[in-house]
Amino acid sequence: MSSSDQATQSRVQANAENRYRIGPGDLPLSCPMPAMTLWNSHPKVYLPIEEQGGSAKCPYCGAEFTLEG
């Protein structure tokens, strides 16, 4: 298996879930996140989760993010 095939398999489908728990290593937060595939998603938007009390909601897909730690 090529390295590009492995990278594709390790990615998470964008918009596959409605709620995501993220950690400080995931900041700055964007939706879709870098590990998500982008082919069927919306434009990338950065979410100011730290300024919103540790939670944010994507205006495009409605995914909810919670900052832990």
Would you kindly state where each structural domain of the chain is located, as residue ranges? 17-67
Q: How many Cβ atoms are within 10 Å of 11's Cβ, its own excluded?
A: 14
Distance of alpha carbon 43 from the chain centroid: 12
Show the tokens assigned to 4: 């590009």
How far, in Å, CA of 36 to CA of 48, rounded?
19
Q: Confidence band (pLDDT; 50, 70, 90) for 1?
A: very low
User: What would the pLDDT profile of 18-54 be if each residue is shown by its tens digit?
Assistant: 899 999 999 999 999 888 876 667 899 999 999 999 9
Angle at 34 between CA 43 and CA 20, to 5 degrees: 90
For the full predicted model, state whether its pTM sits above 0.85: no
